[in-house]
A and B are shown apart, each in its own frame.
Chain A
Amino acid sequence: MSVTAFLTDSTLCIGCKACEVACKEWNHVSEDGYDWSGYSYDNTSALGASTWRHVKFIEETPVPGLGGNASEQTSWGFSSDVCKHCEVAGCLEACPTGAIVRTEFGGVFIQPDVCNGCAYCVVACPFGVVAKNHGDGRAFKCTFCYDRQKVGLAPACATTCPTESIKFGEISQLRGEAQQRIQVLRQRGLEDATLYDATHTSVGGIHAMFIVRGDVRAYNLPPNPEVPTRYLKKGWMSAAIAAGLLLGGTVLAFLTQPATDAR
C-alpha cells in the first residue's frame, strides 16, 4: 500500500471533460443543474458538492499561424481541477465530528455517514474545494476514489483520461516525473511551464499536483495557499494573553480594592 497522488498535466488536456463524467458515474454524483454559464465551454463552473473533477477553460485571443501549443502563447487552456488532498488539510483539522479522515493512501476522505453538516470544513479549505450538498447539507468532495484504490484500481478520472493528462501513481515517483516533464516543456520553448506542488506552504504539500502554463492563479490555484489552522497558535496565544490579562486585572482589582465601609 503506497502513498499516492494525481499529477494533472494541463499541457496534455484537451478539455473533453471525460474525467468529470467518469467521476460522477463512478461515484453516483448527481448533475449540477442545467445552467448555461456563458463562460467559455465551462458549464459546471466550479468544484462543488456535486462536481468533484472540474475542467477549467482559460480563453485568450488566438493568433493565426500559432496554435495553442505554440510556445509563444496559450490560447485556450484546459485543466482538470480536483481536491488537492493537502498534507495539512484545513478541512480535516476543522472537522469537529471526526468525519474527515486521512486514508492509508494519503488522501483526505469525508465519511458521509459521520458528517453532520456543520460546514466548518467548507470555510477551512484554502482551495474552495469542499461544499455543502443542497439537499441534506452534508459536505462532499473528491474521495480520491478510496473504494477503487482499496482494490488496486486507479481513480475513475485518471483511468478515463484519453490523453493521459491526469496521471496517478506513487507520490514521490510522480514528483520525479513532473520535474522531468517541466524540463522537457522548457526545452520545447514553453518557458512558462510550472509545477504546482505547494510543498513550501502551510498546507505542507498536496496529493494533486498540476503542470500549468503562466500564472497559476488563472487555473484557480492560489500561489500561497494557507491552512486556517496555521493561525491557531497565534489565535490561542492571543486568547491566552487576553485571558491572562483579564485574570490579572480581576485579581488586581480585588487586591487593590480599597477598604471601604465595613458597615
Chain B
Amino acid sequence: MPGLGTSLGRGGATTAQQDLSNADAILIMGSSMAENHPVGFQWVIEAREKGAKIIHVDPRFTRTSAMADIWVPLRAGSDILFLGALIHYVIENNREFRDYVVNYTNAPMILREDFRDTEDLDGLFSGWDGEKKKYDPESWLYRGSPVKAGDDDNKPGHAESSGGHGKDRGGEAQDAGKYQEDRTLQHPRCVFQVLRRHFSRYTPEIVERFCGVSEDVFLKVAEVFTSASGKEKTGAICYAVGWTQHSKGVQIIRTAAILQLLLGNIGRPGGGILALRGHASIQGSTDIPTLYDILPGYLPMPSSEADSKKLTGYIGKHSSRTGLWSGFEKYFVSLMKAYYGEAATRANDWGFDWLPRITGDHSHFGYWLDMADGQLEGLFVMGQNPAVGASNGRLQRAAMAQLKWLVVRDMVETETASFWYDSPEVKRGELSPYTIGTEVFLFPAAGSAEKAGTFTNTQRLLQYRNQAVDPPGDARSEAWFMYHLGRRLKKKAAQDFRSRNHGLRALTWDYPVHGKHDEPQVEDVLKEINGYAVRDGKQLKHIKDLKEDGSTACGAWIYCGVYPEEKRNRANERHPNDLLGHGWGFAWPNDCRILYNRASARPDGTPWSERKKLVWWDEEKKEWTGLDNADYEKHVPPDRPAKVHDGHGTEALGGARPFTLHPDGVGWIWVPSGLKDGPLPAHYEPLESLIKNPLYAQQDNPAVNKRARSDNRYANSPGDPRYPYILSTYRLTEHHTAGGMTRTLSHLAELQPELFIEVSPEFSSEVGLRHGEYATVTTPRSTIEARVMVTPRMRPLQIDGRVIHQVGLPYHWGYRGQVTGDVVNDLLVISEEPNVRIMETKALLCDVRPGRRPSGAQAIEKPLTKERLT
C-alpha cells in the first residue's frame, strides 16, 4: 500500500477497528464495509450508537449505506474529484487543524523552483518523459534536498522492474531530512500553498457536474466530515478495494491521507485510515510477502537493473540518514542471518549474492502474460483460483494451457485445477483436453481449522490459531508442503555443486517436526520471525535489539517482539483488557494499536484534549505512556530538539516528529520521492471512461501500463458507442472472493445461489430488461449472462447534463461448486497501475442487452465485440 506507505510511513491501516467506536464521523468510501467486513462493522455501529455520523460514498446503495446517516452515490472512478473537493473545502474554509499541520506534516516545506504542477502542464507533473512513459522525479524533491546518486532511469522507487511494495515503507530513501520551510505556510512554493493551487479547481460545482453528486449533498458531507477534526474531535476513513482497484488507486488513497493529515486525524483515537483488507492475512502476505518485489518487513528485493549488484550499493540506496530506515542494514543483515545462519558472514556479504534478482515484471499479470506467450514452464497455485478470480479470465485460462505442469493445492478441485476439461473454452470448443499439454497435479490442502499458524489481519494484528482437528486423508498444511518440498530440494542441491545451488545449500531449513506426518512446528517459525541472538539463541524482545554485525537473526524486523521469550507467544494471547484490545494478539510494531500515536499529543507532550487523549509524556517517569504503546522512542522527551538536517538515526528526529519512518519525521502531504505517478494526486479518468477528463488534457493516468494486446483489448476512451454503460464488480457478504470456498458449502451457496446484475428501474426500461429474466453483458474481453435484479438501490446519475447508467456485478461464480454461474472476471481487462500493478475493476465500460448469451460453438462464431444496434 504505497498510498499509505509514502504518506505516513507504513503500508498498513493506521488504526484498529475497535477504535472506530471513538470516532465522531466515519467516512466509508471505496468499501462496503458492512457487506465485506461485517464483524469489524460492529464498531462502526457502536460509533453510530454513540452519536457519530456515518457517511457512505458508493455508486450503489449497499448494506453499508443502509446503516449510514448519509449515502452519496457517485460516478465510479471520480473519487479523486470528490476527495480533492473535500481538500479544497478544508483549505478554503480554514478547516485544517493548524497546529497539527504545521508541526506534524510537511505542509511548511518549500519546493524546488523547477517543479511544475498539473495546473501548469495540463495534467502532467514536471519530469514526464513521453517516450519512456515515466517520470524523472527529481524536481519533486524539497528545495535543498540533495539528490541521491544513481542511474537516471533508476531513481529510487522508479526502477522499471520493481513493483511498489518496497515503497509501502514510506517512500524511497531520498534525503528528505534536508529542506527549507515556512511555518507560517505563506511561502508561495511551500507545500501548503502548492496544494491549495493544485486543488483550486476541485470545487463543489465540479463535483456536481462530474461525480453526479449535488452541491447540497456534497456540502453536507464536507460539513459533517471536516467538523470531526481539531482538539476535541476526530474522524476516520475506511476504504477497501473500491479504492485500490483503479488505474490510480494509490493516488486515491493518497488523497485520503492528505485530507486526514490536514484535519489532524492520524495517530489519534477515533481517527486514522483503516485499509480494509480483502481477506484473511492479506496484510500478513505483504508483511511476510508472497510478492516478488519485497523481502519480509518491506525490504526491497534487489533488482538486477538498479544499483544493487553489491551489498554496499543496495544498503546505501535503501537506507535513510535519519528515521527508522537508518536501521536498514540491521534489518537486512538480521534477515540474512535468519535465512542462511552460519553460512552468512561479513566476508560473503551475508549471502547477498544468493538472493534472486528481479529481472522484469514478475507480478501476477506480468508472469501470466509471459505464460500466455509460452515463456513459463510450470506454476504452483496455492490459496488462489485465478481461472475465475483474476482479470480477463479467458486469458488466464488460455495461459495455463501453455504450461507443461501446474500444481494446485486447495481444499476442493477448483476451476484452476479443472480448466483443462470443463472451462467455458472447452465447452465452446476453443480448447480441448486432447490438445492441452499441461499436466495438472492437484494436492488436497488443509482447512484453517486443520492447521496451526497466524493470520495478520486488516489492522496489523497477528492472531494465532490452534489446530482443532487433523486434516482428512492426504490433506496437509501449507507449512508441511513447503517444508518438505524445501527439504527435498535441499537434498538434491547437496549433490549438485553448481553455483546456483549455493544459496539453497546454505539455507537454514531445520524446523522440528511432530505428528505422524512430520508436520513442522509453526511456532518455531514464528520464533525465527521474531528473531534471536545468534550466540545463545535467546529470543529478541524489541526491534532495538537488532544488530548489523551478524549477531542477531530476525525473519521480519517489524514482527520483532511477537515471541519475546520462551513460551510466550503473544499472537496467541487471548485476554483483551481494554477497548483497543491489548492482550488479544500482537499488533506490529511493538503491539501499537494506533500507529503514529505520538501525534495524539501536542508537541509539548500533553494530550490535545482530555476527550482525545491516547499517548502522552509522563514527566515523572520520563517516558511516553497512555492507553496504547507509544509508537515512538519511549524515553525521548518531547522537548528534545530535532537534528534532521545533520543528525543520524532515529535520535535525529527529536521529541516531536511522530512519523518516524520518514527521514523528516512528519506526515507527507507531499511525497517528494517514491511514487511513479506524481507527488500529489490528480484526477484522471478511468482507462475506459464515458467522458473526457473535465480538468486536464491528460485523459488517464499517464504512467499506467495498459498491457493492451489482441487478447486484452480495451474499449475506446473517452466514449465508445459500443459500450455505453459503466460496470463495477464487487462482493457480497454471503460469498468469499471468487467463491472457491463458499460455492462449495451448501449453507452459503443457498444464500446467493446465482449470478445477477443490479440495474436501476430507469436503466431496465431503457434497455428492455425484465426483473428475474436474463441479461447479456459484453466488454471487449468477453460476454456473460446474469439474472436481472431491478432495484431502486441503483440509480442513474446526471453527469454534465446527460444521464449515465452504472450497473453492478458480484463476481463470486464459476463453473464448479454447488452453485455455478458465468465468470464475471472474464469481462475485466488486465491493466497495471504504475505503483502496485493492480488492475482496474471498479470502473469499466460494458454493453447490456436483454436475453441469454450465445453458448457452445455459437459463442465463438459470433464475435465477442459487436456493434450496438441503435
Most A CB contacts (10 A, CB to CB) among B39, B214, B818 go to B39
Which of A58-66, A105-113, A170-178, A204-212 forms contacts with chain B?
Answer: A58-66
Residues of B within 8 A of A64 (CB): 71-73, 213-214, 217, 795
Q: Does B573 contact A (CB under 8 A)?
A: no
| A163:B45 contact, CB within 8 angstroms | yes
- State in angstroms the CA–CA spacing of A43 and B734 once bound together: 11
- State in angstroms the CA–CA spacing of A162 and B819 once bound together: 27
| B71:A65 contact, CB within 8 angstroms | yes
Residues of B within 8 A of A21 (CB): 747-748, 751
Q: Does B753 contact A (CB under 8 A)?
A: yes
| A78:B63 contact, CB within 8 angstroms | yes
Q: Which of A20-39 contact B (CB under 8 A)?
A: 20-21, 24-25, 30-36, 38
- 9 residue pairs A–B, Cβ–Cβ below 8 Å: A16-B34, A31-B746, A34-B754, A43-B752, A61-B792, A65-B70, A65-B72, A76-B61, A78-B63
A235-247 CB mask vs B (1 if < 8 Å, else 0) is: 0000000000000
Most A CB contacts (10 A, CB to CB) among B42, B750, B752, B771 go to B750
| A16:B733 contact, CB within 8 angstroms | yes
| A70:B793 contact, CB within 8 angstroms | no
- State in angstroms the CA–CA spacing of A159 and B819 once bound together: 28
Q: Which of B7-51 contact A (CB under 8 A)?
A: 34-35, 38-39, 41-42, 45, 48
Q: Does A194 contact B (CB under 8 A)?
A: no
B46-80 CB mask vs A (1 if < 8 Å, else 0) is: 00100000111000010101111111110000000
Which residue of the partner chain A has the closest CB to B820?
Answer: A34
- State in angstroms the CA–CA spacing of A168 and B434 once bound together: 60
| A14:B792 contact, CB within 8 angstroms | no
Chain A's nearest CB lies how many Å from the CB of B786?
10
Return the 8 tightest CB-CB contacts between A and B, nearest first: A67-B68, A68-B66, A36-B754, A76-B66, A31-B746, A34-B753, A61-B792, A65-B217
Q: Does A4 contact B (CB under 8 A)?
A: no
Q: Does A12 contact B (CB under 8 A)?
A: yes
| A162:B38 contact, CB within 8 angstroms | yes
Which residue of the partner chain A has the closest CB to B733?
Answer: A16
Residues of B within 8 A of A143 (CB): none
| B746:A15 contact, CB within 8 angstroms | no
- State in angstroms the CA–CA spacing of A41 and B752 once bound together: 7
Chain B's nearest CB lies how many Å from the CB of A186?
14
| A69:B67 contact, CB within 8 angstroms | yes
Given contacts A16-B38, A62-B792, A76-B66, contact A34 B818 (CB under 8 A): yes
B711-745 CB mask vs A (1 if < 8 Å, else 0) is: 00000000000000000000011100000000000
- State in angstroms the CA–CA spacing of A44 and B55 once bound together: 30
| B733:A162 contact, CB within 8 angstroms | no
| B792:A59 contact, CB within 8 angstroms | yes
- State in angstroms the CA–CA spacing of A240 and B745 once bound together: 56
Chain B interface (Cβ < 8 Å from any Cβ of A): 34-35, 38-39, 41-42, 45, 48, 54-56, 61, 63, 65-73, 213-214, 216-217, 220, 732-734, 746-754, 756, 771-772, 787, 789, 791-793, 795, 818-819
Which residue of the partner chain B has the closest CB to A20?
Answer: B751
| B753:A43 contact, CB within 8 angstroms | yes
Chain A's nearest CB lies how many Å from the CB of B544?
38
Partner of A162, one of B39, B48, B70: B39
| B45:A65 contact, CB within 8 angstroms | no
| B750:A162 contact, CB within 8 angstroms | no
Interface size class on chain A is 35 or more
Residues of A within 8 A of B71 (CB): 62, 64-68, 75
| B751:A68 contact, CB within 8 angstroms | no
| B819:A68 contact, CB within 8 angstroms | no
Residues of B within 8 A of A162 (CB): 38-39, 41-42
Q: Does A56 contact B (CB under 8 A)?
A: no
Residues of A within 8 A of B55 (CB): 67
| A31:B749 contact, CB within 8 angstroms | yes
- State in angstroms the CA–CA spacing of A153 and B462 once bound together: 28
Partner of B67, one of A25, A44, A67: A67
Q: Does A17 contact B (CB under 8 A)?
A: yes
Residues of B within 8 A of A40 (CB): 791
Interface of A is mostly: loop
| B38:A34 contact, CB within 8 angstroms | no
Residues of B within 8 A of A67 (CB): 54-56, 65-71
Residues of B within 8 A of A49 (CB): none
Residues of A within 8 A of B789 (CB): 38
- State in angstroms the CA–CA spacing of A30 and B818 once bound together: 13
Residues of B within 8 A of A70 (CB): 69-70
Chain A's nearest CB lies how many Å from the CB of B31?
14
Most B CB contacts (10 A, CB to CB) among A16, A35, A59 go to A16
Which residue of the partner chain B has the closest CB to A65?
Answer: B217
| B733:A15 contact, CB within 8 angstroms | yes
Residues of A within 8 A of B213 (CB): 64
Which residue of the partner chain B has the closest CB to A70?
Answer: B69
Q: Does A18 contact B (CB under 8 A)?
A: yes
Q: Does A164 contact B (CB under 8 A)?
A: yes
| B733:A78 contact, CB within 8 angstroms | no
Residues of B within 8 A of A24 (CB): 747
Given contacts A36-B756, A67-B68, A67-B71, contact A14 B63 (CB under 8 A): yes
Q: Which of A65-103 contact B (CB under 8 A)?
A: 65-70, 75-78
Residues of A within 8 A of B746 (CB): 30-31
Chain A's nearest CB lies how many Å from the CB of B166?
36
Beyond A25-B747, A38-B772, 7 additional pairs, beta carbon < 8 A: A20-B747, A31-B749, A34-B750, A67-B67, A75-B61, A76-B63, A164-B42
Partner of A31, one of B35, B750, B787, B791: B750
- State in angstroms the CA–CA spacing of A78 and B751 once bound together: 15
Residues of B within 8 A of A32 (CB): 750
| A59:B772 contact, CB within 8 angstroms | no
Which residue of the partner chain B has the closest CB to A36?
Answer: B754
| A68:B39 contact, CB within 8 angstroms | no
- State in angstroms the CA–CA spacing of A69 and B56 once bound together: 11
| A68:B42 contact, CB within 8 angstroms | no
Chain A's nearest CB lies how many Å from the CB of B613?
27
- State in angstroms the CA–CA spacing of A163 and B21 once bound together: 13
- State in angstroms the CA–CA spacing of A164 and B21 once bound together: 15
- State in angstroms the CA–CA spacing of A36 and B788 once bound together: 11
Residues of A within 8 A of B63 (CB): 14-16, 76, 78
- State in angstroms the CA–CA spacing of A33 and B748 once bound together: 11
| B750:A44 contact, CB within 8 angstroms | yes
Chain A's nearest CB lies how many Å from the CB of B219?
10
- State in angstroms the CA–CA spacing of A164 and B38 once bound together: 12
Residues of A within 8 A of B751 (CB): 17, 20-21, 43-44
Residues of A within 8 A of B70 (CB): 65-67, 70
| B38:A18 contact, CB within 8 angstroms | yes
Residues of A within 8 A of B41 (CB): 14, 162-163
| A34:B819 contact, CB within 8 angstroms | yes
Chain A's nearest CB lies how many Å from the CB of B210?
16
| B66:A15 contact, CB within 8 angstroms | yes
| A78:B66 contact, CB within 8 angstroms | yes
Given contacts A35-B753, A36-B756, contact A68 B68 (CB under 8 A): yes
| A12:B45 contact, CB within 8 angstroms | yes
Chain A's nearest CB lies how many Å from the CB of B751?
6
- State in angstroms the CA–CA spacing of A24 and B750 once bound together: 12
Partner of B791, one of A16, A35, A59: A59
- State in angstroms the CA–CA spacing of A14 and B32 once bound together: 11
Chain A's nearest CB lies how many Å from the CB of B633?
38
- State in angstroms the CA–CA spacing of A65 and B65 once bound together: 10
Chain A's nearest CB lies how many Å from the CB of B174?
43
| A36:B753 contact, CB within 8 angstroms | yes
| A76:B793 contact, CB within 8 angstroms | yes
Most B CB contacts (10 A, CB to CB) among A36, A78, A164 go to A36
| B791:A60 contact, CB within 8 angstroms | no
Chain A's nearest CB lies how many Å from the CB of B734?
6
Chain A's nearest CB lies how many Å from the CB of B455?
17
- State in angstroms the CA–CA spacing of A164 and B748 once bound together: 21
Residues of A within 8 A of B35 (CB): 16
Most A CB contacts (10 A, CB to CB) among B63, B214, B795 go to B63
| B45:A43 contact, CB within 8 angstroms | no
